[in-house]
Structures are given as C-alpha cells and as structure tokens.
Amino acid sequence: MPEYKAPQRDIRFVMNELLDSEGLYQSLPGCEEATSDLLDAIVAEGAKFCEEQLAPINQSGDEEGCHWSEAGVTTPAGFKDAYKQYVENGWPALSAPTEFGGQGMPGLMGIILNELAGSANWSWGMYPGLSLGAVRTVLEHGSDEQRQTWLGKLVSGEWTGTMCLTEAQCGSDLSLLRTRAEPNADGSYSVTGTKIFISAGEHDMADNIVHIVLARLPDAPEGSKGISLFIVPKFLVNEDGGVGERNPVYCASIEKKMGIKASATCVMNFDGAKGFLIGPPNKGLACMFTFMNVARLGTAVQGLAHGELSYQGALAYARERLAMRSITGPKNPDGPADPIIVHPDVRRMLLTQKAFAEGSRAFLYYLAQLSDVERFADAERAGAATDLMALLTPIAKAFITETGFESANLGVQIFGGHGFIREWGMEQIVRDARIAMLYEGTTGIQAMDLIGRKVLGSGGKLLLGFTARIQEFCTQHSDDNAAEFIKPLQAYCDEWAELTTKIGEAAMDNPDEAGAAAVDYLMYSGYVTLAYFWAQMAVLAQHKLAGNGAEREFYEAKLHTARFYFERLLPRTLAHKESMLSGSDNLMEMDEALFAF
C-alpha cells in the first residue's frame, strides 16, 4: 500500500490562495474565527492523525475485513482504537454547530478532513462519514426535542449515524419501498422492514447507532409522495440522555464485496423497532434530500481520495523503477536502465492523475464553500449558492468518481504486473474506488438529474448562473498573459450553452433524447467545469511566478499541469459532444429481442 502523505501544500494553495477562505469566512456571520492560521493548523493536525493512525491499518483492514455474528459486527484490528482517538481529539465535532457541542468551523474543514481520512483509509472513514448527514438532517428537519435528544452524541462521535433507503426490490427507485411505520399510542412508530446496502449499519466502534430510515405510514399515498422519514436508534435513549434498552433493529448479514471490505455493508432488519417521525408525514423524501446531498459530496471526495492515493503510489514507483532507456538517450547513464518516469506514456498517466486530483480538489473545496455560504450568508447570497450547488453537485459526484476510478486504474498500469499483485496495494485502490460510481446514485442517475431536473427543468437558469461566472472570469483576465487558457475556456462555455439548447429542443419532441445524451452531457460538463478551475489556478500561478517569489517549482508545476489538462484532457469533450448529438435512435431503435445471444 502506498505510504500516504497528506498533500498539505496543495490543500493550503486551494484553501488560502485560490479560494481565499479567510476572506470569505470573515464575511459570513459566525465564521470569523476561521483565519488562515487556524485553518492551516487544523489541516496539519488532521494530516498527522490520518497519516499515523489511519493509513497503517488500511491494507490490513482490507485483508481482515469485518466479522459478523448474531451478537453484532466487529471491525478489523485497530479500527476501534483509531475511532476512539478520533473522538477524543474532537474531530467529529469540527464543523458542527456550537450549540450542540460542535466547534463551529466551516463545512469546508469537514470536507478537507474527509479527504485526508478517505485517502488514508476510505473503509475506516465510512464509519463516521455518514454521521454528518444525520446531523444535518436532524438539525434542519427535526423538532427541538429531537435536536436535544440526538445531536449532542452524534456531534461528539459517541454515536454514529446511517442512511437507510435501499431495499431489495428498490435501489434508486424509492417509490417502490415497502418498509412500514405503524403509529404507537405514545406518538412514536413501530418500523418494520428490511434495508440493504447500509454502510456502517452495525459495528463495535460507537455506543449507539442512529438510523435515519425511510418508511411508509399506513394511510400513505402510493409512490414517492407517500414516504416519511424516521429516527430509529439501535438503543433507545433514557431520560438522562444515556443508552437505554435495545431496539429490535438487527444486522442480518454483511455483504461480501469487491472493495471497501473493512467497511460493514449491512442488511438491516427492523422488527417493529421504535422510531420517531422527522418532518411532516409523507414528506420524508424531501427531508432525506438533505442527507443525500451531503452524502453525494462525500462520495465525490472518494474519487479525489483514491485518485490522490494512487497518484502518490505511482509517482514514487515511477521514480524508482528502472526499465529501458529513454528514446532521447540515457537519463541514468550509471545505471542499467532509466527510471520509467522518463518515458512519455508514463508521464501521460502521471499527469492525468495529477490533473484530475488537483482539479477535483479545487472543485470540491469550492462546493464546500458554497455550502457554507448557503448556511451562513444573507438570503440573497445563500440563494445564489443554493442554485450553484444544485447544478454542480451531480457533476461533482459523477465526474470526480469517474475520473478518480480512471486514476486508480492508471496507478495499476504504471506499476505494470506489480500493480496486479496485492502486496503493493494498488489493486485495492481500484477495488475500493469502484463503488463510488454506484452508491448515492449511479453516474447515469446523476446525469439524468443534471440534464433533466437541474438544467432543462430550470429552463437553463441554473446553468446560466454558473456560465455567467465563467464568462466574468474570462473577461476579467482577457488582457492577462493567459490566452492559452482563457480563449478555449470561453469557447467551451459558449458551446456548453449551445449544446444544451440543441438537446433541449430535441427532448421536446422525444424525451428519450435527454436520456440518451445525459451521461455524455454530464462528462462534457465536468471537463469544462474542471477547465474553469484549472484556468484559475494557471492565472494565479502566472501571477506568482511574475512576482519572482518563493516556491517557483510549485507554481511552475501548476502551470505545466494546467497546460496538460487543456491540451490533453479537455479535448475529450469532442467525443462526448459527437456522442450526445448522435441522438437516441442508435440506442432505442433496436428491438429488445435482438439483444439475445
């Protein structure tokens, strides 16, 4: 397994220089303490914890996996101790509200900690990972009593949270769910049903597990309009706030999976378990979107995390591995061969990994800032941030996980045959990364959400809100020495709008046209979005280099990587453009019987 080293310099570059976090948070009420010095110190401490405590048990956790018995699930060696230290250090409370025991730091810091922990050990990070969504859901939709009952222990990390949506007969189509909730005389509900694919549904790391569960009331309408949301804890809570009697919710089994083997993916049986309604009856899906949006960004971080870890391993190997001579002459004349980093194709793969990881980091940290604006700013700024989040979240979730998986595979390729061998750890990264394109909505579902609900559904308003920002940036820097980035970005921004119009017009005559174009449209959108962030980083690097300041190599690397992205990766949009404009006939005209073999 690669020795993970947190990319603190790049994190600080994005956080402080590119996105000016201190300037933003000084303008948001309640965030004024988030100075650059404090944010840097938090990153440094988080990096130390993840490097020293989580990374060393990543591969061993994969080898051991979780253990199921009727008594419960036990996690691999070292996981429970690491979680205990995580809680003692106060990490779960980092970006939670102070009124419930949190530290009140911006949500950006939660995303950064998620990246650090996920890169070091994604399986471990899934145990506390969903608690943030549970906290946000109870905070926004729970009653005052529910907030007082549940948030303190969730925020401290003494308890963890889960998201219970999926059932055997319904994956992403939640209108088909069957779990039911019968009202009790005391105002609670008896929840009965089976949920599958529940991450961290059962484990031995926390004193209680708080399940956020979708279920139907007896008089609920059919379909998605008849779903309600409930808090269903593993243990009920006593009057003093402590853990009480066992609730009848049990883990029937854990899945045998391709990857993330140290994370317990559970089948959960609710056998008349006591639950508590969150939000209005039959409005549970709308409430659950709060949780799902948090989880979608968390999953996007997984793409970044696995891309970063694979890049680190591949780069170290490419510098050390000797094979063949450079075609332009020996670069290691005293050795038997040259290090493989001198070969153009190896550099192509390394630069692809680097460009996707660093571009994705900028994209995700920007989204985290938008989430903070949404929470803390005035109504006008918050509304604009909400619109941007609505458009960009499905792009981030799908595009970053797709490119993160590509990067993980490139890491194996750079290692050659050694990458296929377990001891190096590169194949584990591929296995762990594969799930990210599936859970919290597949790439296809994110694509349909983007083109159907967010772009065409808003009449293009949400897209125009973002492309206007890109246009403003291009205009602002049109006179800079950055034409190689600004001119193509401007052209792609214009083309994005044109393609949207063409697909929208075609979909008015045949709705299948939107579905047929959706994934290519999303990937095109992702490449252009990342180009926007790489153009910003390139302009910033040029200004730093012009000032003859320190760290010239760092900024030169930024400029070179930006150039690689624009010349080598951004042209992939041409294939996506041709594919999305080819129409739905090449997909839909073939009779189903012809698929037979």
pLDDT in tens, 331-372: 999 999 999 999 999 999 999 999 999 999 999 999 999 999
> Mean pLDDT score of the chain, rounded to an integer?
97
Q: What is the mean pLDDT of residues 386-400?
A: 98
What is the β-pairing status of strands 228-233 and 235-237?
A: unpaired
- Asked whether 260 and 122 are in contact (CB, 8 A), the reply is yes
15: left (phi over 0), alpha (psi -120 to 50) or beta: alpha
Q: Give CA 446 to chain center in angstroms.
A: 13
| pLDDT, average across residues 503-528 | 98
| 538/555 Cα distance (integer angstroms) | 8
Domain ranges of the chain: 288-447, 455-587
Nearest to 73, CA basis, from 130, 135, 127 = 127
What average pLDDT does the segment 268-284 reach?
97
pLDDT for 564 equals 98
Distance between CA atoms of 216 and 227, rounded to whole angstroms? 5
479 has pLDDT over 90: no
Total-model pTM: 0.97
The predicted pLDDT at position 329 comes to 95
Q: What is the mean pLDDT of residues 457-475?
A: 97
The pLDDT, as a whole number, for residue 178 is 94
Find the mean pLDDT for residues 135-163. 97
Supply the pLDDT for residue 172: 82
Stretch 277-304: mean pLDDT? 95
> Would you list the DSSP string of 153-165?
HHHHTSEEEEEE-
> For 394-419, what is the mean pLDDT?
98
Measured CA to CA, the distance from residue 483 to residue 219 in angstroms comes to 62
Q: CA 560 to CA 81: how far, in whole Å?
A: 42
For 215-267, what is each residue's pLDDT tens digit? 999 999 998 899 999 999 999 999 999 999 999 999 999 999 999 999 999 99
Q: How far apart are CA 363 and CA 404, in angstroms?
A: 13
- pLDDT surpassing 80 at residue 421: yes
- For 465, other C-beta atoms within 10 Å of its C-beta total 15
Does the structure show a pLDDT above 90 at 418? yes
Percent of the chain exceeding pLDDT 90 equals 97
The answer to whether residue 378 scores a pLDDT higher than 90 is: yes
Q: Please check whether residue 188 is in contact with residue 156, taking contact to mean a CB–CB distance below 8 angstroms.
A: no
CATH architecture of 288-447: Up-down Bundle (1.20)
Cβ count near 334 (within 10 Å): 5
pLDDT score recorded for residue 126: 97
Catalytic residue list: 440
Residue 243 three-state SS: strand
| Predicted pLDDT of residue 184 | 98
- Whether 86 contacts 157, CB under 8 Å: yes
Instruction: Place 550 in a pLDDT band, splitting at 50, 70 and 90.
Output: confident
Identify the pLDDT of residue 480: 81
- For the cut 80, the answer to whether the pLDDT of residue 548 exceeds it is no
**pLDDT at site 549:** 74
Helix (H) or strand (E) holding 277, with range, is strand 265-278
Q: Could you tell me whether strands 243-246 and 235-237 are parallel, antiparallel, or unpaired per DSSP bridges?
A: antiparallel
